Amino acid sequence: MTTRAQLRSSIRIELNDGGASQLWTDALLNEFIVQAIRTYGRELSKQASATITVVAHQEAYSLPSDFDRAMRVEQPDGVIRVPGTYRIWGGQIVLDPGPDAAGADQNIALEYLARYAEPAADGDTIATPPYDDDVLVALACADAMRWIGSDEAKRARFERQRGASPQGAAETYERRAQTAIANRKRRLRTSALTPTLSQRERE
């Protein structure tokens, strides 16, 4: 698994910024890593599930800490709650009506899209799939190029050293990231369709 320090090193290598006088500080690249993880999560959401224990006649329950969006709410067993029979508010799921009883068959079965954890230290493991590290590198590099384009002195230095504009480089990195994300989405859709096709063939 990749740590924040390892990913930042990969970004610095991609930016060719390993010299004694670096254009981007570690703290700045760490910010770009967090932004890259958030962008990745919006495009390729993490799927998660949780069981929330209910209490009779209690309507509101705390959501998982990584909760982003509800995809399926079942309560009690076998009963799918549609929007209007529940709402998300203030970090809680509020049932309407609330449960009349408690027990394993009354608990909330929640399927949701989750946020990826954001690293706070160099030794923290990057939560996104390691096979998509290159997507994070490209997204972070795009932000790095946009940032340097806003600093006149560093922009001029970059253009003298690289013979290219930061804006053009940012657009190239952004296209690289979006192409990789689009390819990943296509593969996910294909894998989701495969069982259905196999079932039809068996019939």
The pLDDT value given to residue 199:
45
| DSSP summary character for residue 23 | S
pLDDT (tens digit per residue) in 75-117: 999 999 999 999 999 999 999 999 999 999 999 999 999 999 9
Alpha helices in 59-132 (DSSP H): none
What is the average pLDDT score of the chain?
Answer: 91
Q: Is the pLDDT of residue 14 over 50?
A: yes
Q: Model pTM greater than 0.75?
A: yes
pLDDT higher at 22 or 116: 116
Q: How far apart are CA 131 and CA 183, in angstroms?
A: 13
Beta strands across the sheet bearing 86-89: 60-62, 92-95, 86-89
The pLDDT value given to residue 153:
80
pLDDT higher at 122 or 156: 122
The pLDDT value given to residue 198:
44
Q: Is the pLDDT of residue 196 over 70?
A: no
Q: Is the pLDDT of residue 191 over 70?
A: no
CA angle 171, 146, 27 (to 5 degrees): 130
The pLDDT value given to residue 202:
47
Confidence of residue 194 (pLDDT cuts 50, 70, 90): low
Q: What is the average per-residue pLDDT within 166-192?
A: 89
- The helix, strand and coil proportions of the chain, stated in percent and rounded to the nearest 5, come to 50, 20, 35
pLDDT higher at 131 or 190: 131
Q: What is the average per-residue pLDDT within 8-33?
A: 93
State the burial class of residue 92 (Cβ atoms within 10 Å of its Cβ: 0-12, 13-18, 19+). Answer: middle
pLDDT higher at 202 or 63: 63
Q: Is the pLDDT of residue 45 over 60?
A: yes
